[in-house]
Structure 1
Amino acid sequence: MTIDKKNISIVIADDHPMLLRGLFEQLVENGYSVVGQADNGMKALELILTLKPALVLLDIEMPLLNAFEVFKMAKDKLTETKFVLLSYHKEKEYVLQAKSLKINAYLLKDDSFFTIEQCIHAVMNNEEFFSPYFKDSLLRNTNDKLRQFSQLTGSEITILKRIAQNKSSKTIAEELGVSIRTIDSHRTNIIKKIGLSKETNTLTNWALLNKKAISEL
């Protein structure tokens, strides 16, 4: 579907002044309507809720609130703004976290403006978009992980979150008021559903590696 650039209201947020100015100038020069700029997460959230832009380009790591926190708070207010994350982070854990929250897009800050335009077009057509840097195999692997998460029960997710905080079965059992045997039984079920080996500490190591995504379940 063809999109009129002038009708796409955009808020941009980045705590690096030069990057913020450069992105603003590129968007304006290419016919987009930038209605607000923010240099921290709290201001970005205020602009999103006040201006209700069609789209926000949001740096992941900012003062006061990070992009994931801004996204969750904005969605709690039922905003229809579409979110595009901007980051230098190329680790799969960040992609998994973005996908688990169903954020519309994830770009790298060294992507070209042509890629940014491709992303805007895709997102405004209700499609997700991830930087070309991320190979299809990584995105498929990330989707597989999300499907694995979807198989877990509420109790298993509660326990998995605590495992991702590197807590022992004994500590988790005390916090939840259940027996260690119950926790170990849940751990066994989680291992089966996720498809991990039964070796000692395999689940803990996996949970620590995917801590960011697990915290958002």
Structure 2
Amino acid sequence: MKILIADDHPFTLLGTKSFVASYGYTITDTCSNGISALNLINLHMPDIAILDINMPGLDGIDVAKKVQESKLKTRVILLTMHKEMTLFKKANEYGVYGYILKEHAQSELEKCLIEVSKGNKYRSTFLEDDLISDVENATDKLSKLTFSERKIVELIIQQKTSKQIAELLFLSEKTVEGHRSKIIEKLGLPKEKNALLIWAMQNFKS
């Protein structure tokens, strides 16, 4: 059973690697961003890929979507701190086999790997209590933004320029500008220079 692990936090990556190795699995690759993860999945075809959701380049959800679209045999497990219902639904939509919250990983990762290696799906037993339902906030403007757009808004709050955002997310500056325009349009903001930054500072909760 060959396993790839991707997480942009070195400490978490090391910890996950140690746990997985202690369970007797072979770790073929580790990396810190989604683009590398996808390239390595294509190159080495691991049986399982354990991915963080929030990574530079492509996030874990993006990678799962591309694995599904390419009909690759690698089974994706998402290991995450995010508790939004919308992300969990997206994970299901993209054929993710395992979904575990990081705070419970120590007690659940081995069980998850056993089930996923058999071809079964595993959902954290804590999900029912921990998932934040955002159905009641459906009219909220933030719900209109994709996960990638929210990442860009987070960086805009930090007053990063489009060039800096492009470098951090492994995108072209033109793509970031396109995202900015789409975000402004979705939120119905005026096309003034700092309208998005002002709105984000006032409304966005990361």
Question: If the length of structure 1 is used for normalisation, what is the TM-score?
Answer: 0.60
- Out of 85, 96, 103, the position equivalent to 1:103 is 96
Question: Using a 3 Å threshold, how does the CA distance of structure 1 residues 119 and 203 change in structure 2: closer, same or farther?
Answer: closer
- Out of 3, 9, 19, the position equivalent to 2:2 is 9
Matched, 1:70 2:4: no
Contact 2:98 2:116 in 1 (8 A): yes
Contact 2:98 2:123 in 1 (8 A): yes
Deviates more, 1:46-55 or 1:87-96: 87-96
Equivalence map 1:1-217=2 (5 Å): 8-135=1-128, 205=139, 209=143, 212=146
Contact 1:93 1:210 in 2 (8 A): no
Contact 1:97 1:212 in 2 (8 A): no
Contact 1:11 1:37 in 2 (8 A): yes
Q: Using the alignment, how far apart are the partners of 1:120 and 1:17 within structure 2?
A: 21
Gaps of 5+ in 1: 1-7, 146-201
4+ runs deviating over 6 angstroms: none
Question: Using a 3 Å threshold, how does the CA distance of structure 1 residues 206 and 105 change in structure 2: closer, same or farther?
Answer: farther
Q: Using the alignment, how far apart are the partners of 2:96 and 2:6 within structure 1?
A: 16
AA in 2 matched with 1:13: A
Q: How many positions carry a matched residue from both structures? A: 148
Deviates more, 1:113-122 or 1:59-68: 113-122
Question: Using a 3 Å threshold, how does the CA distance of structure 1 residues 122 and 54 change in structure 2: closer, same or farther?
Answer: same
Question: Using a 3 Å threshold, how does the CA distance of structure 1 residues 76 and 29 change in structure 2: closer, same or farther?
Answer: same
Question: If the length of structure 2 is used for normalisation, what is the TM-score?
Answer: 0.62
Q: Using the alignment, how far apart are the partners of 1:9 and 1:115 within structure 2?
A: 19
Contact 2:6 2:51 in 1 (8 A): yes
Gaps of 5+ in 2: 148-206
Give 3-state SS (helix, strand or coil) of 1:110's partner. Answer: helix
Deviates more, 1:53-62 or 1:66-75: 66-75
Q: Using the alignment, how far apart are the partners of 2:138 and 2:108 within structure 1?
A: 37
Give 3-state SS (helix, strand or coil) of 2:103's partner. Answer: coil
Contact 1:104 1:127 in 2 (8 A): yes
Give 3-state SS (helix, strand or coil) of 2:96's partner. Answer: coil
